[in-house]
Amino acid sequence: MAHNAECPDCGNMRALFNQCPHCGSVNFPILSSDTIELNIKQDGPYVEEALERLTDYLRKSLEVGIKAIVLIHGYGSSGEGGRIKWAIHDALENNRYSDRIDEYHFGEDVAFGSESYHALLKRRPGLKRYLKRFKEGNAGMTVLLLGSQARSA
């Protein structure tokens, strides 16, 4: 995971959800942005593990003030979308995370320069640096806009 936060104890850059590798602090870091990219498919988890990770990351993201997540779930090698992608889409469409996620946009619907792309940027300008890489849209990612009135998991 990218280093996009500063340790409140030692001041070094660190990953958002792990303890500081420099001083061992487990205190929540100071954010450099309210938008993050999260690669849920890293290390090749099974579907249930990926959903558990997402649940945990959503809880932690809300605790530190994250407003938007570019969720990388992959597309799969079948040509029809991978199991993690479909499980996440199903969970979102069936409101599994409705207490934490206000809005979601599937990557294939957010092509660079499209109407939906510009609408998203108006709401969350911090997404621009992530979305500009997806010229044709990207079926292997989903944009999550987190709620401000989230309830605990």
Distance, CA of 30 to CA of 11 (rounded, Å): 9
Average pLDDT over residues 44-65: 93
Round to whole Å and give the CA distance between 104 and 89: 9
Give the Cα separation of 35 and 147 in Å (integer). Answer: 13
Task: Give me the residue label for tokens 């640096």.
Answer: 129
Residue % of the chain over a pLDDT of 70: 90
Q: Which of 24, 26, 30 is nearest to 8 (CA)?
A: 30
Helix (H, G, I), strand (E, B) or coil at 102: strand
Q: Quote the percentage of the chain above a pLDDT of 90.
A: 46
33-146 under CATH 3.30.1370.110, yes or no: yes
pTM: 0.83
**Residue 128: pLDDT band with limits 50, 70, 90:** confident
The two three-digit tokens of residue 40, written as one number = 């849920």
Supply the pLDDT for residue 80.
Answer: 60
Q: Which residue has the higher pLDDT, 100 or 75?
A: 100
Name the residue ranges covered by the structural domains of the chain: 1-32, 33-146
Q: What average pLDDT does the structure give for the chain?
A: 86
Q: Please determine, for residue 2, whether its predicted confidence score (pLDDT) is greater than 60.
A: no
Neighbours of 89 (CB within 10 A): 15
pLDDT above 70 for 78: no
The residues, any chain, with a CB within 8 Å of residue 16's CB and separated by 6 or more, are: 1, 4, 5, 29, 31, 36, 60, 61, 64, 66
